[in-house]
Structure formats: C-alpha cells, structure tokens
C-alpha cells in the first residue's frame, strides 16, 4: 500500500465516523436538512467557507495566480468582501425569518410572507436549483475523477466512482449534520494546505525576492495588481468582474442554509469573524501558491495543474497523499451540500409543499435520503456522458444561483414592500440575465462577469414589479 493510498484510507475512515455519529439527526426533515438548527458557530463558519470554495479554490484560483499574477488578488478582495457582506447583511436577519416561519429550505423563506397558492415562487426556485445543481455536481464529479487519477494509479472512470461513492455515502447516512462536521475537517485541511504549500513553494524558489526578480524579468507587471488599470475600459471591467465574484455569496442557497442551521443569533455573531478571517487566508494562500509555482515551474500547458505539480514535486509521498486529500476535501465540501440542496428541493419543496404529500416527517426524511442517492447517480451519469458541456455550463452555475436568489433575499430582508410577484420576477430576471449574458453578451462587454448584471436586473425587477403589484391596503 502506497503512502498516498494509506492517507486517503484514514481520511475516509474519519468521514465514515462522522456519518455514523450523525445518523440520529436524520429521522426528520429539519434534522436531515438542517441538523435540527443546533450547530455551533465554529461549525457554521467552517462549513460556510468550505461549501463556498469548491475545487476551484485549489485548482482554479491557484491557476489564476499562475496565469495572471498579482491581479488575481482582486478576486480575493471580491470574495472576502462578498462573504463579509453576507454575514453582515443577510445571516442574522435570515436566521430570524427562517425560525419565525419554521423554514427548512430557502424557498420556504421566500414564500413565508406570501399566499402563493399557485406555488409560483417555489416552482421557479426548484427549477433553478435543480438545473444549476445537477450541472455543478456533475462538474465536481469530473474534478474528483481527475484529481484521484492524477495522484494515484486509478483510472479517471474509477476515480469518479470512488469519489462519488464516498460523497454520496456519508451524505446519505449522516445528512446535514455529517456534511457540516465533515466540512469542518475539510476546511481545516484546506486551510493547512493553503498555508503550508505556498510557504514551501516560496522557500523552494529562493524566497520572495528571488521570485520577484524571476517573474519581473519575464513580465514587469506580473506582480503589480494595479497594472490592470492600465488596460483602459477593459482593465476596469476586469477589476469589476474580479470583485463581482463575491456577489453570489449573498444569495447562493447552499450557503444561506448555513445561517438557518445555527443554534442562535449569538453563534452567528461569532461565526462571521472566523469565516471572514479564514476566507482571507484561503484566497491569499491560493494566489501566492500559484505565483510561486510560476517561478518554479514555468511553461505549464494547463495553469490549473500547478497545485498538483507543487504537491508531487516538492513533497515526499506521505505529504503528497495528504495534499490529495486536501484537493478532494475542497471538492467534497461543495458536492455534499449541493446534493442536500437538490434533495430538499425535491422532497420538501416539491413533494411536501407543492404536491401536498401527507406522508409523515420520518417517511419524508427517508425519501430525502433516496433523492440524495438518485441525484448523485445522475451526476455520475452526466459526468461520463457530457463532460465538455458540463464544464462549459458550470461557468455560470455559481453566478446563476447567486443572481437568482441574492437580489430577492436582500429585498425581502430590507424592503417591506416586496411582493410575491416581485420575488418571482426578480428570481427569473436575475437568473436568465446571468445565463443570457454568458451565451450572447459577455464577449461584447469586455467579459464582464455575469453575476454583476444579473444582480442589477434581479434587484430592479423585484422592486419595480413589487411597486406595480402592491395592493392598496399594503401601501
């Protein structure tokens, strides 16, 4: 048995232990999908960050640091700002609203103030969630297969099956509580990797001065994050887009349920400081690792392979195995939450609320487990069938979810005049704008990030439609 495989087996044992320990909470819908609203602040904080940062953090953001240098720090600023605003503007108010309405899902919150007899709001929300989550899960399954095959002797197909079996297994058995506590383990591992790897990479390159002299010779602006402003309109649009990557943190449902699952308001107060600090360390570590990697291993065909290259070239096999686990942690911490999100849309929002199922809470919780299994299998099937399309589609999965839910959540929390028709229009408008922007407009607007116009359209439509559909008694 190789050291890499040994480390992976130990890690899988810990995940199995979390699932078995958590299974007692899975016999009700609130238990399976929210861990009974009992989570302490440190679990909520790490689970929020680990879920928000998928394999893109260790592969995409490090690759961005490798490709564009210090300009990638603008993304870090955007993400940290987005997370901070989400904690400040959304977390506590959403928690109070969800508790008051005994809400289990984000669509529950969105409909709690309205008599939506046609289930228009919930129906739109379910379609958006299932569409985006299926694509997102499939892409992460693909990333799992590639990560496992690049670190071990397993084939790509075997890697997908192994990774998927692990993720689906502990989510099926332990529900949201298992997902949240494994997110803590995964988040700690990600943080350790993003401290350890850049430090070793910088030292291996001869220190930051040596890195600077090497990279500046190649490109004088590589380490100047403000050099992007010299590109005129295109440069400033790039800065806005980098900063705009943090916008979806205000509304993606897989993060909002973290706030809903906290024990109380005081836990949320403490969680926000931990979350923002860790997010800053995540981002700075990822970009710095990419920059150091550029000095050490120039000329890579695919910049997003820099983290695996650093892992295999700079560390002994045992540490390489641990770094494989860290890459898998980043992927798993997102996929498990997405599976529960899609499962809740099927069971809670569709079966119980829209179709009026009279099944007991315990029976519906069983259906939730089955739905989690089915959605996971569907993700595996799509990962094999339409790999290229999935990776293209997932480019706007994050922004599509954020643009659909972020604007309407903000309006519900801060504008009492918001109507049900306004919420429905805002969700559809924000979502469709982000998708259409990618398909037809982005190339003509200097690649402006789609979440920016999506958020603007979502808020404007919510407010305008609310103004025109408000009853006289509501004024």
**Confidence tier at 317 by pLDDT (50, 70, 90):** confident
- Is the pLDDT assigned to residue 268 strictly greater than 90? yes
Tell me the two tokens of residue 333: 């911490």
Mean pLDDT for 336-356 is: 90
Q: Alpha helix locations (H) across 152-264?
A: 156-204, 208-218, 232-244, 253-260
Distance (Å) of CA 331 to CA 51, 163, 187: 9, 10, 11
Tell me the two tokens of residue 453: 């116009």
Whether 405 maps to a domain, the answer reads no
Whether 450 maps to a domain, the answer reads no
Read off the CATH number of the domain in which 117 is found. Answer: 1.20.1730.10
**Confidence tier at 139 by pLDDT (50, 70, 90):** confident
Q: Is residue 448 helix, strand or coil?
A: coil
**Confidence tier at 393 by pLDDT (50, 70, 90):** low
pTM above 0.85, yes or no: yes
Least confident range from 34-38, 56-60, 96-100, 247-251: namely: 56-60
- Is the pLDDT assigned to residue 390 strictly greater than 50? no
CB atoms within 10 A of CB 118: 11
Buried b (16+ CB within 10 A) or exposed e, 242-274: bbbbbbbbbbbbbbbbbbbbbbeeebbeebbeb
Name the phi and psi angles at 153, rounded to 5. Answer: -90, 0
Distance (Å) of CA 128 to CA 114, 191, 386, 395: 20, 31, 20, 15
Q: Work out how many domains the chain is built from and give that number.
A: 1
- What DSSP line would sit under 309-358, residue for residue? HHHHHHS-HHHHHHHHHHHHHHHHHHHHHHHHHHHHIIIIIIIIIIS---
Residue 394: the pLDDT is: 61
**Confidence tier at 386 by pLDDT (50, 70, 90):** low
Query: In whole angstroms, what is the distance from residue 206 CA to residue 210 CA?
Result: 5
Query: In whole angstroms, what is the distance from residue 264 CA to residue 71 CA?
Result: 39
Whether 401 maps to a domain, the answer reads no
Query: In whole angstroms, what is the distance from residue 32 CA to residue 48 CA?
Result: 17
Higher pLDDT, 51 or 23: 51
Name the phi and psi angles at 39, rounded to 5. Answer: -75, 140
- Is the pLDDT assigned to residue 156 strictly greater than 70? yes
Whether 348 maps to a domain, the answer reads yes
Residue 77: the pLDDT is: 96
Mean pLDDT for 331-351 is: 87
Whether 435 maps to a domain, the answer reads no
Mean pLDDT for 326-330 is: 80
Residue 56: the pLDDT is: 76
Closest by Cα among 247, 242, 226, 302 to 446:
242
Whether 404 maps to a domain, the answer reads no
Mean pLDDT for 283-308 is: 92
Whether 62 maps to a domain, the answer reads yes
- Is the pLDDT assigned to residue 475 strictly greater than 60? no
Mean pLDDT of the chain: 88
Q: Is residue 39 helix, strand or coil?
A: strand
- Is the pLDDT assigned to residue 129 strictly greater than 60? yes
The segment with the largest mean pLDDT, out of 19-23, 60-64, 73-77, 232-236, is 73-77
Query: In whole angstroms, what is the distance from residue 67 CA to residue 102 CA?
Result: 47
- Is the pLDDT assigned to residue 467 strictly greater than 90? yes
Domain that holds residue 128: 3-387
Tell me the two tokens of residue 80: 């940290």
Higher pLDDT, 363 or 411: 411
Whether 436 maps to a domain, the answer reads no
SS3 of the chain: helix, strand, coil, percent, to 5: 85, 0, 15
CB atoms within 10 A of CB 132: 27
């Amino acid at each position: 048995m190789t050291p890499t495989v040994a480390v992976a087996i130990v890690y899988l044992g810990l995940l199995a232990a979390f699932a078995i320990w958590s299974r007692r909470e899975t016999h009700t819908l609130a238990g399976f999908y929210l861990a009974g609203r009992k989570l302490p602040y440190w679990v909520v904080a790490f689970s929020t960050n680990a879920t928000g940062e998928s394999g893109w953090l260790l592969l995409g953001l490090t690759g961005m640091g490798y490709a564009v240098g210090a300009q990638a720090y603008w993304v870090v600023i955007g993400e940290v700002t987005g997370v901070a605003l989400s904690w400040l503007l959304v977390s506590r108010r959403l928690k109070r609203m969800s508790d008051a309405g005994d809400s289990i899902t984000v669509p529950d919150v969105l409909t709690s103030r309205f008599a939506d007899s046609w289930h228009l709001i919930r129906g739109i929300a379910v379609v958006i969630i299932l569409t985006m989550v299926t694509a997102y899960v499939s892409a992460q399954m693909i990333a799992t297969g590639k990560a496992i095959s690049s670190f071990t002797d397993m084939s790509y197909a075997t890697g997908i099956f192994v990774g998927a079996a692990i993720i689906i297994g502990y989510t099926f058995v332990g529900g949201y509580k298992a997902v949240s506590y494994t997110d803590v383990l995964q988040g700690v591992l990600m943080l350790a990797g993003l401290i350890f790897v850049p430090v070793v990479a910088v030292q291996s390159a001869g220190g930051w001065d040596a890195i600077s002299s090497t990279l500046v010779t190649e490109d004088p602006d590589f380490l100047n994050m403000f050099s992007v402003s010299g590109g005129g309109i295109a440069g400033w649009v790039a800065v806005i887009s980098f900063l705009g990557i943090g916008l979806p943190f205000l509304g993606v449902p897989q993060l909002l349920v973290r706030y809903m699952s906290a024990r109380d308001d005081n836990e949320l107060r403490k969680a926000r400081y931990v979350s923002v600090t860790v997010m800053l360390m995540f981002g700075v570590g990822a970009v710095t690792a990419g920059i150091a990697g550029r000095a050490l291993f120039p000329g890579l065909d695919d910049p997003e392979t820099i983290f695996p290259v650093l892992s295999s070239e700079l560390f002994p096999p045992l540490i390489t195995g641990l770094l494989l686990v860290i890459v898998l942690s980043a992927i798993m911490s997102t996929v498990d939450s997405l599976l529960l999100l899609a499962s809740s849309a099927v069971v809670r929002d569709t079966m119980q609320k829209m179709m009026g199922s009279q099944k007991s809470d315990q029976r519906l919780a069983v259906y939730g487990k089955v739905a989690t299994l089915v959605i996971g299998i569907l993700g595996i099937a799509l990962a094999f069938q339409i790999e290229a399309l999935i990776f293209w589609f997932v480019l706007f999965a994050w922004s599509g979810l954020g643009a659909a839910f972020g604007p309407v959540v903000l309006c519900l929390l801060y504008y009492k005049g918001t109507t049900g028709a306004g919420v429905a229009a805002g969700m559809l408008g924000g979502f469709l704008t982000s998708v259409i922007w990618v398909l037809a407009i982005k190339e003509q607007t200097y690649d402006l990030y789609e979440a920016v116009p999506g958020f603007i359209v979502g808020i404007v439509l919510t407010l305008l439609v609310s103004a025109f559909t408000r009853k006289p008694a509501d004024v």
